[in-house]
Amino acid sequence: MTDLRASDEIQGNVLTPFPDGEQAFLLLHFADAEGARALLAEILPGLTTTASLLSSPPRVCRGVGFTASGLRKLAPLWAAGLEPFLAFREGPAVRAPRLRDHGPSAPERWVFGTLDPGVDAVLTLASAEPAAAGEEAAHWQERSRALGVHCLFDQRGARLPGIMAGCEHFGFKDGISQPAVRGFDRAPAGLLPAGEFILGRPRLAAGGGEAEPLPCPDWMCDGSFQVLRRLSQDVAGWRAQLARLAASLSPERPMCPHQLAAKLMGRWQSGTPLALSPDRDDHSPPEAEYDYNDDPFGYKTPRFAHARKMYPRDDAFFEKDWHRIIRRGIPFGPIYEPGSETAGAERGLLLNAFMASLENQFEFLMRGWANDPDFIEAGDGPDPLIGESGEPATLRHPEGCPTALRFERFVHTTGAVYAFVPARSVVARLAAGEGT
């Protein structure tokens, strides 16, 4: 089995994360292929790979992904081989109705990812040092202008300070429950084949074991599909909803807003799973092993809870491992402080995820689970964090008499891109003009 940790082909941030002190995402549009190739030739020497990130991480990590339109401009012959990858070819703006991105989440409201002008590439810059990624972003914006490449948007993200470090704006610890990859992670059990996230590698077979890699052109091997999704969070609205719903509960089953928030998320703010500590936060390790086999009706962890919707942890019934994604989220915007000068500022989370199939992984999670009020069973309700449905959610109790809760949505999509992050040698071939 190939040790993926030694790969100088797979780009960094896919299997091992970039530092999350500060990150910048430059959304680029190619006016012409010549200028784009010249820019890639300059980016290439500092492109961060898995091996380099693990052995000698640079001051600023650098990664690049291309949308279908970008590949059509750079390598039209290669792009002809994208026929099987419909979601990638269409992009998230076209597929927004499938994901229920409408109203406040509609593409016409997005700050990036709309169809005209389209994003052709995503340049990701990351550093643990304050301001380093920003300095690098300014440099690449200048080089882009000089070469005729347009920077459509400069999206920044940063780790929140103080007690909010490692959390998203609603106050919950983020980035936990990541899949472990065979040939990369050292976990004793629960390893998934690399082909679930890296093209050209063995995938998960029905019933376990490994299957043949997902069919793809040779140039896609050791690459991964990327979803960059900008999610704005209304913290004040979220807190007001929690207070309202908590006040509406029966006196026989009272909950404070903090407890109700844990029910909605499936975890306490520390990351401790309700499955291990349903009544209070005992600060069990967020990555501790657990399942929901002893809680089929959702008395401890509601079946609509975000964590349970996104990862049901039941191989036999849900084939859960077929839909896992690698998530690299980072917040943007200031911490919400009522009454402060920045209280009205925009804030949220940048979901940066990697997978082998957009349709069977990211889009399946959104369409088949988050937005389905009848998953796991009829009446369970939508995901209270990212789901969109007019149906209520059912909070079940051991004594019977379930409680119906209606959620408003306080997380909205305000930008989205589907990109492909190719192997380092493929970026070099694109810079050299192959595929034309």
Identity (one letter) of the amino acid at 320?
A: K
Rounded Cα distance, 418 and 119, in Å: 9
Q: Which residue carries 């909950």 as its tokens? A: 255
The C-alpha R_g of the chain, in whole angstroms, comes to 22
Q: Are 12 and 50 in contact (CB under 8 A)?
A: yes
Q: How many CB atoms lie within 10 A of CB 378?
A: 9
Tell me if the bond preceding 331 is cis, omega within 30° of 0.
Answer: no
Q: How many CB atoms lie within 10 A of CB 112?
A: 19
Distances (CA, A) of 51 to 2, 18, 54, 175, 418: 13, 12, 5, 22, 25
pLDDT, position 321: 66
DSSP state of 62: E
Identity (one letter) of the amino acid at 176?
A: I
Average pLDDT of adjacent 10-residue blocks, the chain of 436 residues: 85 97 98 97 98 96 98 97 97 96 96 92 97 98 98 98 97 93 86 95 86 95 98 98 95 94 97 96 88 94 95 70 90 97 97 97 93 91 90 92 93 98 98 96
Rounded Cα distance, 286 and 281, in Å: 11
pLDDT, position 359: 97
pLDDT, position 399: 87
Measured in whole angstroms, how far is the alpha carbon of residue 423 from the centre of its chain?
A: 20
Rounded Cα distance, 63 and 118, in Å: 19
